[in-house]
């Protein structure tokens, strides 16, 4: 019987602050990094499961220490049994009472669980010879709800309600799978919009995004109102009237400030306003959403867990749900969040960029399309053209669309040489 | 000019799981631990600042790694300048954009900032020759609001409103200080109520708590309803009718389950219901509070930061605010939370127990009494008789009251021998 024999961890950091890629109103100089974990087994197939937490530099070592704290939960386990019950494994890791105290269910420890869970999904997908999105889309509704912990969710979504959603989406799975393989999934581009870029670069990258077929772009805002107006004017002139332009404040504002600032950008016909304030502030987002309607509020990349997402949906505090592959506790918790979004009829537009987030999160959006919400309408995955070359199966984004991965695994495996070359300290 | 020269960290763990002290519905076998930090300077006075994060065992090493990640922010700093502007230092640590990504403002990284901030307050209090509560109570309203970061709070509490609260409490400070020194501050006891204790031990400890003069006791509940009814029957019989008995579910329930379970305990005249569900669930607590009124909801020991506390107050989701000394980012953030509570007229009854939480949090409650809320009415600090012997200035709890510390510092210094004897790994 094959067993898990070790977790190997790596502190991988890319010096992105040198080029101001990724610069925004709250994060002037990120060094995009990955707290990276490999799950090793003694199986003859030689497969490894790879996962990571995306961070932006300092503290990546602490995130690695949290990954290491989970090793004793994994080593010695039967590989087949563990992979066959990832819902059970998720509960064991998230509800380890001593580790839970360090969140609970938030921050470094929770993200570490997510990386390990994602690595196990990568391993399972490799062993089953499927890309993760297809593996998930092949599960029965009962198998899918068994992956989800409904603790703290039942006032908004019960297991039976989730089953009904999934059964409703069973019809048409095959057709949507074929559509996805043929046409891909819509993408939008954040490449033009970083605050650290000058106006010429902004103009050039806006034109390029439109030329490349992206259906939407996003600009960082929130540091200086006059700058925002100037940059949005350039973007609107370059992209043309009616082209969807979203903005992202990266949590820069207080509630009243957000409402006033967004009002001052009223002429630009914003496609959405992202992260206007603290990601913990459900009631604040609800107030902002009410004030700026019909402009939608988008958020999620820093929402700590399914319980907070539940409240955002209950309170009407977001209109676009931005799933993140490595902020919550992995694939299982993201399935819970996809089911919550489907229950409330809110479109999911995943957060990506960073290190490997595009590679990871596309699988979840595609699974959502095939087996959960059953639609790609008003949905789009973020795309930033950074760091893809470090991944064994980089995304295939052409003509403004993510093309469905056919390679086995979860997309989360980095080249050995990149891990070695960018290992820190 | 004296400078900060190092942070020294220690992974201190006490084997409390052997006696089931601290056992509750979510935490069956905690090993009470401290991720401990000492701030060293080259000043001739030889003072060190001591702080810690309370954890319950596994993962304490990860918490220590997070403390270490802050060392580079501290070493080389001018001691006088740093201690004179702890509001500025707080902002620098909490808003370090790369470290902030790991929360933001929650979990391991945020608690690490709290321990360092608390250690600096301990250092400042020692250098000024005062206990922390008296040092804080000697500051002007302007000096106090300068310690607070109002970011994300201004829709509920502005700097001007906070100043007005503090100015309103200036009159009577001297009188309340004298009252406090003479009479102490009310305490309640959780010693009888751990789930792992048998009925005889429960009965004996209930009687002892009443005999010792505590005005309230608290029982852990939520694992099994029949057990809860049997244990509450014993407690009620032992303590007598009308004696305040609170219960604590330690986040065990979903929202509807909480409401039903508490209804089933209706005959016991509960003084409060603590942590009925996820500490992230503002809306869930609001629903529970509405359903179980007039029984109050108490929570706070796992609330991640001031933004979440703000919402609990805005939504009427808690009626008793349970401050914790080491969950949020230290003294400064706790001052923000005391001001929010004062604004909303909600009593603060700090969480204590654990390792050194009684020693630390008493200073905040006493400062609140002297300089913020100006009252101890309906307020009481938790007391558990564990592990006090490891502290240089242990609490002085007699006749059901915390007697105000007169020793200099923040109460957070552990004996050197305890640090050494219980160092882990």
Query: Which residues on chain B are in Cβ contact (under 8 Å) with A327?
Result: none
Instruction: Tell me: pLDDT of A17 over 90.
Output: no
Instruction: Tell me: pLDDT of B333 over 90.
Output: yes
Residue of chain B with shortest Cα separation from A305: B280
Chain B: nearest CA to A2, how far in angstroms? 27
Residue of chain B with shortest Cα separation from A276: B152
Tell me the sheet residues that pair with B37. B9, B51
* Closest Cβ–Cβ partner in B59, B154, B254 for A154: B254
Query: Which residues on chain B are in Cβ contact (under 8 Å) with A100?
Result: 26
DSSP H stretches of helix in B69-198:
71-74, 79-84, 86-94, 97-100, 107-128, 132-137, 141-145, 159-168, 173-183
Q: Under an 8 A CB cutoff, do A315 and B62 touch? A: no
What are the tens digits of pLDDT across the range A181-202? 999 999 999 999 888 899 999 9
Tell me the sheet residues that pair with B9. B37
User: How many whole angstroms separate alpha carbon B420 and alpha carbon B425?
Assistant: 11
Chain B: nearest CA to A108, how far in angstroms? 6
Summary mean pLDDT of chain B: 97
pLDDT at B11: 98
Q: What is the DSSP string of A143-195?
A: HHHHT---TTTTTT--HHHHHHHHHHTTTTHHHHHHHHHHH-EEEEEEEEE-T
pLDDT at B19: 78
Tell me whether residue A106 is one of the annotated catalytic residues.
no
Other Cβ atoms closer than 10 A to B52: 31
pLDDT at A20: 74
pLDDT at B356: 98
Report the pLDDT averaged over residues A172-182.
98
DSSP H stretches of helix in A9-158:
60-68, 71-74, 79-84, 86-94, 97-100, 107-128, 132-137, 141-146
Report the pLDDT averaged over residues B237-252.
97
Q: Please tell me which residue in A351, A363, A390, A403 is annotated as part of the active site.
A: A351
Residue of chain B with shortest Cα separation from A110: B107
- Residue of B107, B116, B149, B260 best to disrupt the A interface, most CBs of A under 10 A: B107
* Closest Cβ–Cβ partner in A63, A152, A280 for B307: A280
Confidence of residue A291 (pLDDT cuts 50, 70, 90): very high
What are the tens digits of pLDDT across the range B342-398? 999 999 999 999 999 999 999 999 999 999 999 999 999 999 999 999 999 999 999
Within 13 Å, how many C-alpha atoms sit on residue B160's CB side?
1
Instruction: Tell me: pLDDT of B340 over 80.
Output: yes
Report the pLDDT averaged over residues B303-309.
98
Q: Name residue, tokens 């957000």.
A: A258
User: How many whole angstroms separate alpha carbon B255 and alpha carbon A7?
Assistant: 37
pLDDT at B8: 98
pLDDT at B364: 98
Contact in structure between B377 and B347 (CB atoms under 8 Å): yes
User: How many whole angstroms separate alpha carbon A381 and alpha carbon A321?
Assistant: 11
Chain B: nearest CA to A328, how far in angstroms? 11
Q: Please tell me which residue in A10, A50, A218, A220 is annotated as part of the active site.
A: A220
Confidence of residue B320 (pLDDT cuts 50, 70, 90): very high
User: How many whole angstroms separate alpha carbon B70 and alpha carbon B102?
Assistant: 13
User: What token pair was written down for A422?
Assistant: 């960018």
Question: What domains are defined for chain A?
Answer: 4-130 (3.30.390.10), 169-421 (3.20.20.120)
Q: What is the number of CB-based contacts under 8 A between chain A and chain B?
A: 185
Instruction: Tell me: pLDDT of B27 over 90.
Output: no
Tell me whether residue A424 is one of the annotated catalytic residues.
no
Contact in structure between A291 and A283 (CB atoms under 8 Å): no
pLDDT at A25: 77
Instruction: Tell me: pLDDT of A241 over 80.
Output: yes
What are the tens digits of pLDDT across the range A73-113? 999 999 999 999 999 999 999 999 999 999 999 999 999 99
What are the tens digits of pLDDT across the range B263-288? 999 999 999 999 999 999 999 999 99
User: How many whole angstroms separate alpha carbon B407 and alpha carbon B359?
Assistant: 12
Angle at A108 between CA A106 and CA A109, to 5 degrees: 75
Name the DSSP letter for residue B391.
B
Summary mean pLDDT of chain A: 97
Report the pLDDT averaged over residues A121-148.
98
Closest CA to A362 of A339, A384, A336: A384
Report the pLDDT averaged over residues B27-52.
96
Percent of chain A whose pLDDT exceeds 70: 100
pLDDT at A147: 98
pLDDT at A21: 73
User: How many whole angstroms separate alpha carbon A77 and alpha carbon A3?
Assistant: 5
Contact in structure between B340 and B157 (CB atoms under 8 Å): yes
pLDDT at B409: 98
What contacts A313, CB < 8 A, 6 or more positions away? A156, A321, A340, A341, A343, A344, A346
Confidence of residue A237 (pLDDT cuts 50, 70, 90): very high
What contacts B296, CB < 8 A, 6 or more positions away? B271, B272, B273, B289, B318, B319, B320
Confidence of residue A302 (pLDDT cuts 50, 70, 90): very high
pLDDT at A292: 98
Lowest mean pLDDT among A26-35, A367-376, A394-403, B389-398: A26-35
Instruction: Tell me: pLDDT of A271 over 80.
Output: yes
Q: Is B388 left (phi over 0), alpha (psi -120 to 50) or beta?
A: alpha
Instruction: Tell me: pLDDT of B417 over 80.
Output: yes
């Amino acid at each position: 019987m094959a067993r898990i024999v070790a977790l190997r961890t790596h502190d991988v950091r890319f010096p992105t602050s040198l080029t101001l890629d990724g610069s925004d109103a709250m994060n002037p100089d990120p060094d995009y990094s990955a707290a990276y974990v490999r799950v090793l087994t003694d199986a003859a197939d030689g497969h490894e499961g790879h996962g990571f937490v995306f961070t932006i530099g300092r503290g990546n070592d602490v995130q690695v220490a949290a990954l290491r704290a989970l090793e004793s939960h994994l080593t010695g386990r039967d590989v087949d049994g563990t992979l066959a019950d990832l819902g059970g494994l998720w509960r064991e890791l998230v509800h380890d009472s001593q580790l839970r105290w360090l969140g609970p269910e938030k921050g470094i420890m929770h993200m570490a669980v997510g990386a390990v869970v994602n690595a196990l999904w990568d391993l399972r997908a490799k062993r089953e010879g499927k890309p993760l999105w297809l593996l998930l889309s092949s599960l029965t509704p009962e198998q899918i709800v068994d992956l989800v912990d409904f603790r703290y969710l039942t006032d908004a979504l019960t297991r039976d309600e989730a089953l009904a959603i999934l059964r409703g989406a069973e019809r048409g799975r095959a057709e949507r799978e074929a559509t996805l393989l043929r046409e891909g999934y819509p993408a939008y581009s954040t490449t033009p919009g970083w605050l650290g870029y000058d106006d010429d670069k902004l103009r050039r990258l806006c034109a390029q995004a439109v030329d490349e077929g992206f259906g939407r772009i996003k600009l960082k805002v929130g540091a200086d109102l006059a700058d925002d107006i100037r940059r949005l004017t350039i973007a609107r002139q370059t992209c043309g009237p009616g082209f969807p332009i979203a903005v992202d404040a990266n949590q820069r504002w207080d509630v009243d400030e957000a409402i006033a600032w967004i009002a001052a950008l009223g002429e630009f016909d914003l496609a959405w306003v992202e992260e206007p304030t603290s990601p913990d502030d459900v009631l604040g987002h609800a107030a902002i959403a009410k004030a700026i309607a019909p402009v939608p509020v988008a958020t999620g990349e820093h929402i700590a867990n399914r319980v907070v997402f539940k409240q955002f949906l209950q309170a009407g505090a977001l209109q676009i749900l931005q799933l993140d592959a490595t902020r919550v506790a992995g694939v299982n918790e993201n399935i819970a969040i996809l089911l919550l979004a489907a229950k409330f009829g809110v479109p999911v537009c995943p957060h990506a960029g960073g290190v490997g987030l595009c590679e990871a999160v596309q699988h979840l959006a595609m699974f959502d399309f095939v087996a959960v919400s059953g639609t790609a309408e008003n949905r789009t995955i973020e795309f930033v053209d950074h760091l893809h070359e470090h991944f064994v199966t980089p995304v295939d984004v052409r003509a403004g669309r993510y093309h469905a991965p056919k390679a086995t695994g979860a997309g989360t495996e980095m080249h050995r040489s990149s891990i070695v070359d960018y290992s820190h300290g």
